Amino acid sequence: MSLLAFVTVLIYLGALVLLWRERSLRYLLLLFAGHLTMLLTPLWQRVYQITPSDGAGFTLLGRFDITWALLLGGGALLALPPLIFYYGLRHRWWPRHYAAVWLGYLLFVIYFLLIEGLLERGNSGLFSDTLLVEDTILPAKVVQAVLLAGVSLGMLYTLVSTRHYALEVALAPLLLCGVVAALLFLGIFASPLWVSGLLGQSGILVTAGGLVSLGLVLWGVHLLAGGLHAGRRQQLLWR
């Protein structure tokens, strides 16, 4: 927990430095979007009847169990990959190319695997306290990382797409981008996996659901990467 708090403070200090240097609130807004996303993530516990693990920090509105670590640290860690990728695009460290976005997504997956490994407590980790996914042809932690990387990529897409908007116009999309991305990747694309787990404990059924969900996630990544690639030649002001 102390390591998580330290990392979260460092992320916020970095965002404040960028606010001062680049005169842009977008970095801080995306961090707030990460916290809002984590606040609503336990919704999937109720929608798909996922049993939360022990040790929840508090109960939201008497219904949703969530830990303080997930809300505070998890939100910052979720927003960190798109922030780094956005900063690199802004300073032309890498191109806004289809292949570069796919490579970024794969790095996001590795990042979330490393986060779970570093912050793992017993048989569960930071995000797996809420996202209790099933083993399919891939281990549960890999499935979880694939889904969370998709959410982060959705946040990146919004951040880049609204880069030339005035702040008052971009405010709502930036704050809600994580919620919308979570609805898409965790609520819709992952629904075959959740539903197959509810229908029975058959390994074949869960594996089939996992394959369908994986296909939907990869299709979603393809659409986001294609959208970012299509606008690469636009010479717009980065606000």
The per-residue pLDDT for range 67-79, each reduced to its tens digit, is 666 667 778 899 9
Query: pLDDT band at 137, cuts 50/70/90?
Result: low
- Decide if pLDDT at 104 tops 60: yes
Q: How far apart are CA 201 and CA 3, in angstroms?
A: 37
The per-residue pLDDT for range 17-69, each reduced to its tens digit, is 988 888 888 899 999 999 888 887 766 666 655 544 444 443 444 444 556 66
Q: How far apart are CA 34 and CA 26, in angstroms?
A: 12
- List of residues 6+ apart from 94 with CB closer than 8 A: 88, 100
* Domain limits, the chain: 2-230
Instruction: Report whether 64 contacts 43 (CB < 8 A).
Output: yes
Mean predicted confidence (pLDDT) in 103-131 = 75
Range in 6-10, 47-51, 112-116, 141-145 the model is least confident about: 47-51
pLDDT at residue number 25? 87
Instruction: Report whether 159 contacts 78 (CB < 8 A).
Output: no
- Decide if pLDDT at 127 tops 50: yes
Instruction: Report whether 190 contacts 131 (CB < 8 A).
Output: no
Instruction: Report whether 159 contacts 26 (CB < 8 A).
Output: yes
Query: pLDDT band at 154, cuts 50/70/90?
Result: very high
User: Higher confidence at residue 209 or residue 188?
Assistant: 188
pLDDT at residue number 59? 42
The per-residue pLDDT for range 213-229, each reduced to its tens digit, is 889 999 999 999 988 88
Which class for 110: exposed (0-12), middle (13-18), buried (19 or more C-beta within 10 A)? exposed
Range in 86-90, 176-180, 182-186, 208-212 the model is least confident about: 208-212
Query: pLDDT band at 123, cuts 50/70/90?
Result: very low
Instruction: Report whether 71 contacts 38 (CB < 8 A).
Output: yes
Query: pLDDT band at 92, cuts 50/70/90?
Result: confident
pLDDT at residue number 134? 58
pTM for this model (two decimals): 0.84
- Closest listed residue to residue 70, CA positions, set 121, 106, 25: 121
